[in-house]
Amino acid sequence: MPSLDPAIGQGAGPSLPVRSLRAVSGPPPDEWWGGYFQYFGAVGQQDAFDSRRRARILVIACHGAMALMTVSAALRVATGRTPPASYWIAVALTWAAMAIGPFVLKLTLSVGKAAILPIVATATSLPITSVGAGGLDAPVLAILPSVPLVAAFFIGARGAKALTFVLMVELGALAIAFNTGALSAKLAPAPVVKATLYASFLVVTTFIAMAYDHERRAVEHRLRTMAQQLYESSIRDPLTNVNNRRYFAERLEREMAFSARHGTPIAVLILDADHFKAVNDTRGHSAGDTVLVGLAANLVAHLRTEDLVARYGGEEFVVLLRDTSCEGARVVGERLRRAVAAMKFEHGGSLFSVTVSVGCASTCRARSGEDLLIAADQCLYEAKRLGRNRVIACDDVALPEKRSA
């Protein structure tokens, strides 16, 4: 399974291999192909259609069906086995419905409305063409099972169920008519006609399989994108775009286990903006938000890629430093403190600056993640007690368990 961890310290989202819509939909059409779809209203803004992909598939399906019916009728005439008038009426009506479908799409910009007439015409004409052309053994009826699938693809499951009911009634009526002798199959299709019809059925089913696979991949892409966005929102602070406290706690436990297994130290810094309430009270909460966003960006810019920055709560930020001792954490904390003190914030046409107090602790003096946070918090408390805008490391104060002892 792909890693869901963000790029630590860089504000990057989780690493999910998501294919682009261009990759899912295939290469863009060439000039002629694009003009073909443009003419029949099968391209445009996504919200203007039920689906641009369905629109394009509908245009191809209608024109492909027209071509198949034309070839099939021509083969019947060429083999000298001219069907009865009912066959030609059904073919003509279906051919006309297929020709009208793309233009309905162009006028209504609705795939569902444009697909109704071709689908209904096909479902009606297939049983009719079997009359006098092989009866219920006519190979044209082999295409019938694909009609509800096509209907489900274009007009939904409800329309497909209604169409299936109608087809079952039609087939039942034909079975009774042929069984009682009311209808008889007077003209059996030639082998070449049978082969053509069965080949047409294979083409139709292959086309349906391709269309559903196309939609499946597009849906898969959307689901993966949504999963990425949901995971991103669950581990990010919406204001500062750094990780949140929940993700920091999970990451700290993993880093503590890694540290214990490999014998390498890790350190935690807790930074608190000095007199932040005064900024909100005198300049407004929007100025406070500007400060928090600026602080987060500054921290990320002055840390390594493998370091983790998170908003711990309110105006507090926490930094996780891998393979860093207490003295190393003190050096990093001092660098961050100076970088923040040098920042200038603009709000309401005036410039102002803020400072931070920093508490540092390392696993050299703590046995668990909770101990590490308690020690860093105690150092932060000491930094504020001594006048703020300073860095206090774990070597400078006693750990909680020593005080309790």
The residues annotated with a catalytic role in the active site are 315
Q: Indicate the DSSP class of residue 275.
A: T
| CA–CA separation, 208 and 147 (whole Å) | 10
Q: Which helix (H) or strand (E) holds 374?
A: helix 369-385
| CA–CA separation, 326 and 16 (whole Å) | 35
Q: Which helix (H) or strand (E) holds 115?
A: helix 111-130
Counted residue by residue, the chain has a size of 405
CA dihedral 211, 212, 214, 218 (to 10 degrees): 140
Tokens 């489900």 belong to residue: 152
| CA–CA separation, 265 and 242 (whole Å) | 24
Contacts of 298 (CB under 8 A, 6+ apart): 336, 339, 340, 343
Q: Indicate the DSSP class of residue 110.
A: -
The first and second tokens of residue 105, run together, are 């799409």
| CA–CA separation, 381 and 383 (whole Å) | 5
The first and second tokens of residue 273, run together, are 């903006």
Q: Is the separation of the CB atoms in 312 and 246 below 8 Å?
A: no
317: amino acid identity, one letter: F
**In which region does residue 80 sit, left (phi positive, over 0), alpha (psi from -120 to 50) or beta (all else)?**
left
